[in-house]
Amino acid sequence: MPRQIISKWSFLILSSVVISALLKLAHIPAAVMLGAIFAGIVFSYKNMEGRIHPAVFRFSQGIIGCMIAARIPLNIVDELKSSWLFFIIGVLSAIIGAAFIGFIMAKKKILPGSTAIWGISPGGATAMTIMSEDFGADMRLVAFMQYMRVVFMTLLASLVSWLWIEDSGIPVPEIPWFPTINWYNFALTITLAACGAVLTGWFKIPAGSIMLPLIFGIFLQNTSGYKLELPYWLLAISYTIVGWNIGLRFTRQVIMYVYKVFPKVLLSIIALVMVCAVVAVLLVYFADIDPLTAYLATSPGGLDSVAIIAASSPVNMPFIMAMQTCRLILAVSLSPILARLISKRL
């Protein structure tokens, strides 16, 4: 049995490395995470059982939260003042658009009950999946819709970033894999990510494993002189674990279960993308935001996925993460209310 387990995980690791390397050679942003997603999907579809331990996944999200914090200054509010109206529109558009699309899907009986509303909601995929079961939705369908949206948006965002970088000629600096490490700062960074993971596990805070290190990381780095230490090898491991956590959910059983509604689910995701794209265009023309930043800020993908893509692209990281974070908080807060209202309406 141990030999079989080692063989399976060796296959997953090796295939992740190979796919990531090929994507990296093609200069695709977030190549490490995308490679892990594809490898995870293949692994699951071949009926090789595997799962990432929740604590490991939460710690990896905490590292990504630290990575975001390292790129966001404390005066982020000042940077958003000039475009506050479009910022609010950008935050609300995806939530309202998703609620409308979910209402149409539920009304047409494409999916049962409030499943469509939870499945299309642009919040944290894990939080939405867990919360949906308490409100009578089909957790399997919600998980499929949420993670299918994350995969689709990750691929699309990576493609857009790649095309934008190629066309603009803006060089993306190479990041050394094994830089010199300040071990004191490194230990504090690991502690921050671990504390976020532990507190999230104890108190069941939606998206807390990424949000807590992000919030406290910004505060510490901008007020105490403490510098977050994130060598790229640590980020790559975290990106891989996040990618596996997405890909491993696409088992053959799940895919077969939703086979009939797949085209309609895909159409709903495309409709949500179009809503967000319109807002991105408004940001470009009226708020003077560069196109790639506007697209990633309004993209209805996962917060961690967008953060990884943004980190490997020449964009305004603070603006992107501020909009993504605010939308995540609102989506997690409003989804139960919207689900109830729409269910009553139906």
| pLDDT tens-digit readout, 154-170 | 777 777 777 765 554 44
The Cα 16–Cα 3 span in angstroms is 20
One DSSP character per residue, 203-219 reads HT-TTHHHHHHHHHHHH
Per-position b or e across 270-289, b if 16+ CB within 10 A of its CB: ebbbebbeebbebbbeebeb
Nearest to 234 by CA among 294, 282, 186, 162: 186
Per the CB < 8 A criterion, the answer to whether 222 and 74 are in contact is: yes
The Cα 172–Cα 311 span in angstroms is 10
For 223, half-sphere exposure in the C-beta direction (CA atoms, 13 angstrom radius) is 8
Q: At what angle do helices 232-247 and 303-311 cross, to 10 degrees?
A: 140
Q: Where are the domains of the chain?
A: 53-345
**Dihedral, CA of residue 184, residue 190, residue 191 and residue 195, to nearest 10:** 170
| SS3 assignment, position 106 | helix
Stretches in the chain below the pLDDT threshold 70: 1-2, 27-30, 47-49, 73-83, 112-113, 123-127, 129-131, 133-135, 139-140, 164-176, 206-207, 302, 304, 346
